[in-house]
C-alpha cells in the first residue's frame, strides 16, 4: 500500500487571503472564523456547562462536520461514524464541566475527545484489518478523493483550512505518512516502524520534523491573523 | 533533556506517539520545566485542531442531531 496521505493538494490556491483582526496574547489556535455577533465557542461551552441544550445544538451545528470527518478518517465507516458522532456530542454534554479555558480552546478539547473515542472504537472492534482493507480499496478506487474534491469556493471561504492543508501537503510524504498513522490511527512509533518497514529512529525523526514544521507554520499563521 | 528536546517530545506526546520509555523521561522533564512546560504542551494541542481542520467536513445524518437533542433534553428533565 502506498503512503496514506495526511492531507491536501496544493493544486488549488486560495484566491485571496481573508484577514482577521489582530488580538493580543491569544493561545495558538486555528479555529475557523465566525459570523459577526455569533456566540464564541467559549460562550457555547459555558452554556453547555450551565446545561443549556441550545448551546449544544449550536456547537453541534458548528462542528459536526469537522468531527465527523475526523471520525471517518479513523474508522472508515459511515454508519459507525454517525453513531460515534452522537456519542461524542453526548460526552461533550456530560463532560463539559471538565473543560477548562485555561488549558485550551473548546475545539481542541472536542477534537482530542473525538479522536480518543474514535481510536478506542477502532481498537475495541479489532477492526484494524478491515479498516486497512477499506482504506486500501478507497485509495485504489478514488485516489486522493477526499483531498481533491473540495471546491474552489470552499477553499477560498476557508482560508485557514487552506493554509493548514498547504502546510501539511508540503511535508515530504514519509513525514505525512508517519503523522497520519500516529494521529489518525493511534499507532505508536514501533507500530509505524513495523508497518512501514522503517527503522524506529527514522520514524521518530520523521514525526519530530513533520510535527515541528506544522507547529511552526501554525505559529506563523497565528501571528499573521 | 534540554527544553528544545522537550519541545520535540511534547509534540509527540500530544498525539500519543511517545513510547513508554520516552514517556517516563518526558514526565521527569515536564516536572523539571514546570509552568513553562505546561504552557508549551497546551500550545501543542493546537496540532489536534489543525489536523481536524485539514479534513474536508463530512455530512452527518440529519437524524443524529434529533436523537442527540432528544437524549440531552430527556436527561435534563430526568
Give the C-alpha separation, A188 to B7, whole Å: 18
Does A212 contact B15 at a Cβ distance shorter than 8 Å? no
Task: Give CA torsion, residues A26, A31, A32, A37, to 10 deg.
Answer: -50
Q: How many helices (H) and strands (E) does chain B have?
A: 4, 0
Per-residue pLDDT of A72-121, as tens digits, reads: 999 989 999 999 999 999 999 999 999 988 878 899 999 999 999 999 88
Does A215 contact B46 at a Cβ distance shorter than 8 Å? yes
Question: Which of B 45-74 lie inside 8 A of A, CB atoms?
Answer: 45-61, 64-65, 67-69, 71-73
- What mean pLDDT is predicted for residues A183-202? 94
Higher pLDDT, B5 or A4: B5
Which residues in chain A have Cβ-Cβ distances shorter than 8 Å to B75?
93
Which residues in chain A have Cβ-Cβ distances shorter than 8 Å to B67?
86
Task: Give CA torsion, residues A142, A143, A144, A150, to 10 deg.
Answer: -40
Q: Does the pLDDT of residue A3 top 50, yes or no?
A: no
Q: Is-contact B68 A90, C-beta < 8 A?
A: yes
The structural domains of chain B, with segments of one domain joined by +, span: 3-77
- What mean pLDDT is predicted for residues A141-157? 39
Q: Which of B43, B56, B65 sits opposite A27 (nearest CB)?
A: B43
Task: Determine the pLDDT at residue B78.
Answer: 76
Task: Determine the pLDDT at residue A29.
Answer: 54
Per-residue pLDDT of A33-62, as tens digits, reads: 677 788 999 999 999 999 999 999 999 999
Alpha helices in chain A (DSSP H): 41-49, 53-75, 78-95, 106-124, 128-141, 145-148, 152-157, 159-169, 173-185, 189-196, 200-224
Task: Determine the pLDDT at residue A192.
Answer: 95
Q: Is-contact B53 A66, C-beta < 8 A?
A: yes
Q: Which domains does chain A have, with CATH numbers?
A: 38-141 (1.10.1740.10), 151-225 (1.10.10.10)
DSSP string covering A88-141, please? Answer: HHHHHHHHGGG--GGG--HHHHHHHHHHHHHHHHHHHTT-HHHHHHHHHHHHHH
For CA atoms A104, A107, A113, A118, the dihedral sign is: negative
- Min Cα distance B27 → chain A (Å) is 18
For CA atoms A30, A32, A37, A41, the dihedral sign is: negative
Put simply, whether A209 touches B (Cβ < 8 Å) is: no
What is the ipTM score, two decimals?
Answer: 0.88
Residue A131: pLDDT band (50, 70, 90) is low
Question: Which of A 119-158 lie inside 8 A of B, CB atoms?
Answer: 146, 149-150, 154
Orientation angle between helical segments A53-75 and A41-49, nearest 10 degrees: 110
Give the C-alpha separation, A94 to A78, whole Å: 24
Put simply, whether B44 touches A (Cβ < 8 Å) is: yes
Q: Range with the lowest mean pLDDT among A42-46, A52-56, A139-143, A200-204? A: A139-143
Does B51 contact A67 at a Cβ distance shorter than 8 Å? no
For residue A37, how many other CB atoms are within 10 A of its CB? 5
Does A179 contact B11 at a Cβ distance shorter than 8 Å? no
pTM of the model: 0.76
Task: Determine the pLDDT at residue A14.
Answer: 42
Task: Determine the pLDDT at residue A16.
Answer: 40
Residue A216: pLDDT band (50, 70, 90) is very high
Q: What nine digits make up the cell of B29?
A: 522533564
Per-residue pLDDT of A7-41, as tens digits, reads: 444 444 444 433 333 333 345 555 566 777 889 99
Per-residue pLDDT of B32-73, as tens digits, reads: 999 999 999 988 988 998 899 888 899 888 899 999 999 999
Task: Determine the pLDDT at residue B19.
Answer: 92
Amino acid at each position: 500500500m502506498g503512503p496514506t496521505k495526511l492531507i491536501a493538494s496544493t493544486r488549488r490556491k486560495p484566491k485571496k487571503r481573508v484577514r482577521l483582526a489582530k488580538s493580543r496574547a491569544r493561545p495558538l489556535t486555528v479555529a475557523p472564523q465566525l459570523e459577526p455577533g455569533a456566540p464564541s465557542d467559549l460562550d457555547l461551552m459555558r452554556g453547555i456547562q450551565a446545561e443549556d441544550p441550545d448551546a449544544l445544538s449550536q456547537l453541534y451545528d458548528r462542528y459536526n462536520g469537522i468531527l465527523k470527518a475526523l471520525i471517518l478518517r479513523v474508522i472508515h465507516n459511515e454508519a459507525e461514524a454517525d453513531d460515534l458522532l452522537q456519542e461524542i456530542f453526548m460526552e461533550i454534554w456530560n463532560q463539559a464541566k471538565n473543560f477548562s479555558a485555561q488549558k485550551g480552546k473548546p475545539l481542541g478539547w472536542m477534537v482530542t475527545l473525538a479522536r480518543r473515542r474514535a481510536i478506542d472504537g477502532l481498537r475495541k472492534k479489532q477492526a484494524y484489518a478491515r479498516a486497512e482493507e477499506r482504506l486500501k480499496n478507497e485509495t485504489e478506487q478514488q485516489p486522493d478523493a477526499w483531498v481533491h474534491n473540495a471546491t474552489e469556493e470552499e477553499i477560498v471561504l476557508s482560508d485557514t483550512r487552506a493554509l493548514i492543508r498547504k502546510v501539511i501537503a508540503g511535508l515530504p510524504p514519509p513525514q505525512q505518512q508517519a503523522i497520519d498513522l500516529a494521529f489518525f490511527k493511534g499507532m505508536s512509533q514501533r507500530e509505524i516502524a513495523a508497518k512501514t518497514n522503517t527503522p524506529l529512529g527514522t520514524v521518530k525523526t520523521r514525526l519530530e520534523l513533520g510535527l515541528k514544521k506544522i507547529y511552526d507554520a501554525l505559529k506563523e499563521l497565528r501571528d499573521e491573523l | 533533556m534540554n527544553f528544545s528536546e522537550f519541545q520535540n517530545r511534547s509534540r509527540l506526546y500530544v498525539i500519543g506517539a511517545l513510547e513508554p520509555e520516552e514517556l517516563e523521561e518526558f514526565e521527569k522533564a515536564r516536572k523539571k520545566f514546570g509552568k513553562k512546560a505546561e504552557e508549551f504542551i497546551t500550545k501543542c494541542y493546537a496540532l489536534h485542531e489543525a489536523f481536524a481542520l485539514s479534513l474536508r467536513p463530512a455530512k452527518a445524518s440529519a437524524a443524529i442531531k434529533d436523537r442527540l437533542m432528544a437524549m440531552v433534553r430527556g436527561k435534563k428533565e430526568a
